């Protein structure tokens, strides 16, 4: 599937819920109330039917995301249905790890192969503050459970925020190096009211990269995945660091993805409002061919790029609606 800027779309990020057990300030502020109603949630069978259309059209990687995907009760059923689709090469999941201690083994058995796990601080009090109510020890136990199940690679995502957690960069490097985890730094994105507020703490990752280069030798590396991170190997260790820079250096030219929200909206760009209502088509009895035509047409209308940082570009929906 190609869009009108000759980009091949092979990656679908699929949000299975817009709810979450955390309230990270940059993503899902406490006052947020505008959640999708259960009647609008795609069922596991509807998700499978749409995913089959995407795979038929050339998608090779699906990432389950949220909100927090582990709070969706049917997550294992959804994972099993997706991992059985012929032609899908990779089923991965993003999570805050709070429930992974309970679910890591079942997720692996259901066909999820790779994990991206969020971890912004190794200090329990600070972690609770950033996440609203998160329990650091439970999250670290969840990460350990994932390691024991042999997910590979496991990537840890840290949203870098000046004055909040930027003093922990070296501690995070040591934590990940000691556990065989990849570490990725992410710049804050001004999406939703929380993202806009968090922009006050924005740090261009070039600053963190320069700081790390004073202590470590970073050489270009590759890591399995479908994303836009720039990766480096640290010294001669197995540790790989990634830098994701949506603000300072956008990577829209090589964008390969589209997003499906829990209520069946196909979003063509994280930073724009272009979308197609696949749920309405599905529930109106559209045939497979009609669904595929709507997807292809939507992808032709995929915008060239986001405009984060420009005054008229404000995206109102929180990041939790689309899963990053």
Binding positions for ligand SAM, rule: CB under 6 A: 20, 26-27, 65-66, 68, 94-96, 118, 157, 159, 186, 188-189, 191, 195, 198, 319-320, 323-324
Residue 79 or 95 with smaller CB distance to ligand SAM: 95
**3-state DSSP call for residue 265?**
strand
Question: CB of 159: closest distance to ligand SF4 in angstroms?
Answer: 8
Question: CB of 292: closest distance to ligand SF4 in angstroms?
Answer: 30
Question: Of residues 28-87, which lie at the interface with ligand SF4 (CB under 6 A)?
Answer: 28, 66-68
- Of 18-26, 173-181, 197-205, 228-236: span binding ligand SF4 (CB under 6 A): 18-26
Closest by alpha carbon to 93, among 17, 158, 169? Answer: 17
Q: Given strand 182-186, what is the order of strands in its sheet? A: 218-221, 230-234, 240-244, 182-186, 154-159, 114-118, 90-95, 61-65, 11-15, 257-260, 265-267, 275-277
Residue with the CB atom nearest ligand SAM in the bound state? 324
**3-state DSSP call for residue 298?**
helix
- CA 53 from centre of chain: 21
Residue 143 or 282 with smaller CB distance to ligand SAM: 143
Q: What is the DSSP letter of 198?
A: H
Choose the one of ligand SAM, ligand SF4, none that binds residue 157, judging by a C-beta under 5 to 8 angstroms depending on kind.
ligand SAM
- Of 23-31, 73-81, 203-211, 292-300: span binding ligand SF4 (CB under 6 A): 23-31
Q: CA separation (Å) from 80 to 75, 86, 127, 134?
A: 9, 12, 32, 28
Confirm or reject binding of residue 118 to ligand SF4 (CB under 6 A): yes
Question: Of residues 126-185, which lie at the interface with ligand SF4 (CB under 6 A)?
Answer: none
Closest by alpha carbon to 52, among 297, 324, 295? Answer: 295
Closest by alpha carbon to 187, among 270, 127, 229, 248? Answer: 248
Q: Interface residues with ligand SF4 (CB under 6 A)?
A: 20, 22-24, 27-28, 66-68, 96, 118, 319-320
């Amino acid at each position: 599937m190609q869009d009108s800027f000759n980009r091949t779309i092979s990656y679908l990020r699929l949000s299975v819920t817009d709810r979450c057990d955390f309230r990270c300030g940059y993503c899902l502020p406490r006052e947020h109330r505008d959640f999708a109603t259960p009647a609008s949630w795609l069922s596991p069978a509807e998700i499978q039917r749409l995913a089959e259309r995407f795979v038929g059209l050339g998608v090779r990687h699906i990432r389950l995301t949220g909100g927090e995907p582990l709070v969706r009760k049917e997550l294992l059923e959804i994972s099993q249905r997706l991992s059985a689709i012929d032609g899908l090469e990779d089923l991965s999941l993003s999570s805050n790890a709070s429930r992974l201690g309970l679910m890591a083994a079942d997720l692996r058995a259901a066909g999820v192969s790779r994990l991206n796990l969020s971890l912004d601080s190794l200090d329990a009090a600070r972690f609770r503050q950033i996440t609203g109510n998160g329990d650091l020890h439970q999250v670290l136990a969840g990460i350990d459970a994932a390691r024991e199940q042999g997910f590979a690679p496991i990537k840890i995502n840290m949203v870098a925020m000046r004055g909040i957690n930027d003093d922990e960069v070296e501690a995070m490097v040591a934590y990940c190096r000691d556990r065989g985890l990849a570490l990725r730094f992410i710049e804050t994105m001004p999406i939703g009211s929380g993202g806009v507020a968090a922009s006050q703490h924005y740090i261009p990752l070039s600053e963190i990269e320069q700081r790390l280069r004073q202590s470590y030798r970073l050489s270009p590396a590759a890591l399995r995945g479908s994303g836009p991170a720039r990766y480096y190997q640290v010294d001669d260790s197995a540790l790989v660091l990634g830098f994701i820079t949506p603000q300072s250096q956008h990577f829209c030219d090589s964008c390969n993805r589209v997003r499906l929200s829990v209520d069946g909206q196909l979003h063509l760009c994280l930073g724009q409002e272009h979308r197609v209502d696949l749920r309405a088509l599905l529930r109106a009895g559209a045939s497979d061919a009609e669904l595929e035509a709507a997807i292809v047409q939507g992808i032709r209308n995929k915008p060239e790029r986001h405009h984060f940082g420009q005054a008229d570009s404000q995206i109102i929906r929180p990041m939790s609606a689309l899963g990053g």
